[in-house]
A and B are shown apart, each in its own frame.
Chain A
Amino acid sequence: MAEKPEDLNLPNAVITRIIKEALPDGVNVSKEARRAISQAASVFVLYATSCANNFAMKAKRKTLNAGDVMSAMEEMEFERFLQPLREALEAYKKGQKGKKEASEQKRKDKEKKNSPGENDKSRDEEEDEHMDDEQEGENEGEEEDVEN
């Protein structure tokens, strides 16, 4: 599935929502303006990625990390984003931690459940496999395979 960058758009509904929430009530947005903003957003992602990747490469890392993105924002002159991004990242990390603990807890519960020999296989066997993967993932920045 060879997708060209031009073909990858962000979902209109979400873009529209973000725009609406940023503007005061009573303001409308033409379809063309919305489309242009959506395109601009895609370009932004590509540009930010490229910039961030440069930092990763400079540091001889193959994996792009959050720090690289922060550096990219600075480089792109979007310093105003840094603070909100840092806060969001903190919340995200906490959320990740919570999920990991939750899935570990689930797994423990499951083991307890399975031992009495219950044949109740109904529950997500898939989930079990998935959790294996999660366990293997590194703590900090689980890597997503973005390999080309």
Chain B
Amino acid sequence: MATTVSELDRSGAEDEPRSAEPEEDGGNGQAGPIAAAQQHRLAKLPLSRIKALMKADPDVSLASQESVFIIAKATELFVEMIAKDALVYAQQGKRKTLQRKDLDNAIEAIDEFAFLEGTLD
């Protein structure tokens, strides 16, 4: 899994404040400065959406920006991992198209994915 940072930092460079415009977070938390500022760099998934998901947990009160970023990044790694693991099953079936059943097989077979059992439609 070569997810090196340099790979992600494609907008390459010193063009720092391209901050078009940091929208003020009016308390809604939907599109805060984080979404605008960081999205084009290190996280592919929008931090605002990640944060919204985190907020769905009633036990969560506050979360640092870093934690939101790390969860976004971890989720990206997770997607990569599950796609690759599912691919193995497609290949076993001599297919070049990943199908839902490949996902199901991967979930059943791989310990780390146990938490997904029964959660998908």
Contacts and interface: CB of A to CB of B under 8 A. Distances in A.
B74 A85 contact: yes
Contacts of B22: 126-127, 130
A92 to B, nearest CB: 5
Interface string B40-81: 011111100111111111111111111111110111111111
Given A42-B53, A57-B59, A69 B71 contact: yes
Interface in B100-121: 100, 102-103, 107, 111-113, 115-116, 119-121
A51 B51 CA distance: 15
Given A18-B80, A144-B64, A45 B75 contact: yes
Q: How large is the interface on B (under 10, 10 to 19, 20 to 34, 35 or more residues)?
A: 35 or more
Contacts of B29: 144-146
Contact of A33 (B5, B54, B84, B102): B102
Contacts of A73: 74
Nearest to B62: A63
A69 B17 contact: no
Interface string A1-37: 0011100101100110111011100111110110111
Contacts of B58: 148
B63 to A, nearest CB: 4
A64 B96 contact: no
A93 interface: yes
A53 B67 CA distance: 10
Contacts of B44: 14, 17-18
B31 interface: no
A4 B65 contact: no
Contacts of A11: 45-46, 49
Contacts of B113: 40
Contacts of B71: 45, 48-49, 52, 69
A33 B50 contact: no
Interface of A: 3-5, 8, 10-11, 14-15, 17-19, 21-23, 26-30, 32-33, 35-37, 39-50, 52-53, 57, 62-66, 68-70, 73, 76-78, 80-81, 84-85, 87-93, 95-96, 98-99, 102-103, 106, 124, 126-127, 129-130, 133-134, 140-148
Given A10-B50, A80-B1, A99-B37, 7 more contacts: A22-B80, A37-B103, A44-B116, A53-B57, A66-B67, A126-B21, A147-B61
5 contacts: A27-B87, A44-B74, A68-B67, A88-B42, A133-B33
